[in-house]
């Protein structure tokens, strides 16, 4: 494929999420490409809808037809929280066996990134309602992490979806409002909250790394493509510092130009 010489990612995004695609395109290293489909559910409640996204995967995959996908990436962390780590692992293994390609969920990608960074204690920035925040905490604990501070991110009072209407300013304000902490990393929850501006905020050298779910998902998706040419895949800490994506994000208008 001319526009995907290193690999093609099949990206599945929650039906009303407007954040995933712009951030994914900004974050991808040169030589990789993606096609996007939608996770769709008619369930009324948020939790029921999130679980239905993973339960209806076979219907969602029809959108990709016979595209030569290198990896399937699911940009929805809430489904992972509610499914739980053990059931999610069985579900991923089943779909990998059926599709014969890596299947990456955003939740498992974050856990992999945190383990690679040697994280033990984790601070969270959450745009979620309280129930989903609690499910998130339980999920990260099941992956072996200790939870320190949980900072709520103010979401929009009006709009089509409160989380998807959250601003970068709200996310950054919440990150900067974290008190003194012994955390090894700060995690921005969800794929619907804009994260790139916050990731590039200047911070003291001793600050723990800040990680977003979208950055982890794209990093792990690229890592999972076994055809990746040796030496061309950026290291995780390079991703965190924006070495290969900050300039592209600026060109796309997702983050301000630096002086």
Runs of H (alpha helix) within the chain: 20-27, 46-55, 57-61, 77-83, 85-99, 106-116, 130-142, 168-177, 196-199, 213-224, 236-240, 246-251
pLDDT, mean of residues 248-252: 94
pLDDT tens for each residue of 9-23: 999 999 989 999 999
pLDDT of residue 16: 87
- The CATH number of residue 29's host domain is 3.40.50.12500
Residue 2 lies in a domain: no
| Distance, CA of 148 to CA of 132 (rounded, Å) | 17
Residue 175 lies in a domain: yes
pLDDT of residue 230: 46
pLDDT, mean of residues 145-164: 78
SS3 of 176-223: the string is: HHCCCCCCCEEEECCCCCCCHHHHCCCCCCCCCCEEEHHHHHHHHHHH
Statement: residue 128 has pLDDT above 70: yes
Distances (CA, A) of 106 to 1, 101, 184, 232, 251: 25, 16, 20, 23, 26
pLDDT, mean of residues 235-254: 93
Statement: residue 83 has pLDDT above 70: yes
Residue 177 lies in a domain: yes
Q: What is the DSSP secondary structure assignment for residue 60, as one 8-state letter?
A: H
| Distance, CA of 215 to CA of 138 (rounded, Å) | 22
Domain that holds residue 75: 7-251
Residue 217 lies in a domain: yes
Statement: residue 139 has pLDDT above 60: yes
Residue 258 lies in a domain: no
Strands 71-74 and 103-105: parallel
Q: Looking at the whole model, is its pTM more than 0.85?
A: yes
Dihedral (C-alpha) 143, 149, 155, 161: value to the nearest 10 degrees?
10
pLDDT, mean of residues 50-78: 95
**Share of residues in the chain with pLDDT > 70 (%):** 92
In sequence order, the 6+-apart residues with CB closer than 8 A to the CB of 253 are none
Residue 1 lies in a domain: no
Statement: residue 228 has pLDDT above 60: no
Which phi and psi angles does 154 have, rounded to 5°?
A: -60, 130
Q: Which helix (H) or strand (E) holds 52?
A: helix 46-55
Residue 166 lies in a domain: yes
**What is the distance, to the nearest Å, from the Cα of residue 257 to the centroid of all Cα atoms in its chain?**
24
What's the total number of domains in the chain?
1
Residue 257 lies in a domain: no
Statement: residue 161 has pLDDT above 70: no
Which range (72-76, 94-98, 223-227) has the least confidence? 223-227
pLDDT of residue 157: 58
Statement: residue 160 has pLDDT above 60: no
pLDDT of residue 258: 62
Residues in the chain: 259
- Rounded to the nearest integer, the mean pLDDT of the chain is 91
pLDDT tens for each residue of 186-206: 999 999 999 999 999 988 888
């Amino acid at each position: 494929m001319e526009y995907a010489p290193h690999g093609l990612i099949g990206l599945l995004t929650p039906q009303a999420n407007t954040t995933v695609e712009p951030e994914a395109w900004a974050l991808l290293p040169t030589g990789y490409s993606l096609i996007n489909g939608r996770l769709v559910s008619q369930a009324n409640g948020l939790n029921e809808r999130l679980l239905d996204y993973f339960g209806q995967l076979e219907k969602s995959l029809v959108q990709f037809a016979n595209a030569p996908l290198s990896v399937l990436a699911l940009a929805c962390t809430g489904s992972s929280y509610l499914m739980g780590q053990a059931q999610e692992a069985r579900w991923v293994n089943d779909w990998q066996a059926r599709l014969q390609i890596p299947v990456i969920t955003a939740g498992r990608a974050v856990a992999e990134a945190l383990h690679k960074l040697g994280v033990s204690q984790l601070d969270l920035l959450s745009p979620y309602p309280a129930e989903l925040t609690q499910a998130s905490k339980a999920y990260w604990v099941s992956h072996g992490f200790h939870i320190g501070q949980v900072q709520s991110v103010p979401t929009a009072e009006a709009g089509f979806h409160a989380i998807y209407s959250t601003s970068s300013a709200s996310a950054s304000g919440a990150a900067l409002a974290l008190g003194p902490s012994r955390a090894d990393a700060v995690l921005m929850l969800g794929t619907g909250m804009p994260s790139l501006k916050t990731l590039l905020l200047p911070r003291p050298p001793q600050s723990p790394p800040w990680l977003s779910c979208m950055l982890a998902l794209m990093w792990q998706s690229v890592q999972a493509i076994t055809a990746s040419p040796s030496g061309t895949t950026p290291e995780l800490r390079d991703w965190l510092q924006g070495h290969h994506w900050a300039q592209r994000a600026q060109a796309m208008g997702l983050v301000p130009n630096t002086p």
